[in-house]
Amino acid sequence: MFENPFTENFLECWQLWKDFRKEEHGFQYKGVISEQMAINRLVEVSEGDEEKAVRIVKQSISRGWMDFYQLKQTSVNGKSTTRKEAGGAKTINLRDRVSAALTKKRDQERQQQGGESGSKAV
């Protein structure tokens, strides 16, 4: 298993990222090393801030990206700030919708798998 640099709560977000990559791009990490390198990249981009890392993952999912990038910046009264700080409700809403849709799909798949395994046992 890879080394999680954040709290246990982060693992749900990371699983969402892996599900997105598999569903949208047909990509799976080939092993622990490649997954750890991706986590390390996220730590670097987020500067080790877990909340920022979660926002970066959600930004990458909402934009269909295959990698992690700095949070997109907007300008409010001449001051550079993240969209979340700027009150970018539209962006956050899209992220929430994508997250909810992927979570719902994953839950449905788990239910189907549970039903299939139950019928095999009978």
DSSP 40-100: HHHHHHHTT-HHHHHHHHHHHHHTT-SS--PPPEEEETTEEEETTTTT-HHHHHHHHHHHH
Cα 121 from Cα 71, distance rounded (Å) = 48
Q: Which two tokens stand for residue 62?
A: 């909402």
Considering only residues 93 and 36, tell me which one the structure prediction assigns the higher pLDDT: 36
Considering only residues 104 and 45, tell me which one the structure prediction assigns the higher pLDDT: 45
pLDDT band at 5 (very low <50, low <70, confident <90, very high): very high
Element (H, E) at 5: none
pLDDT band at 82 (very low <50, low <70, confident <90, very high): low
How do residues 12-63 score in pLDDT, each as one tens digit?
999 999 999 999 999 999 999 999 999 999 999 999 999 999 999 999 999 9
**CB-neighbour burial class of residue 33 (10 A; exposed 0-12, middle 13-18, buried 19+):** exposed
**CB-neighbour burial class of residue 59 (10 A; exposed 0-12, middle 13-18, buried 19+):** buried
Q: What is the pLDDT of residue 76?
A: 55
pLDDT band at 90 (very low <50, low <70, confident <90, very high): very low
pLDDT band at 103 (very low <50, low <70, confident <90, very high): confident
Q: Which one, of 80, 83, 79, lies nearest residue 71 by Cα?
A: 83
To the nearest whole number, what is the mean pLDDT of the chain?
81
Q: What is the pLDDT of residue 94?
A: 64
Cα 18 from Cα 111, distance rounded (Å) = 19
Mean pLDDT of 63-70: 94
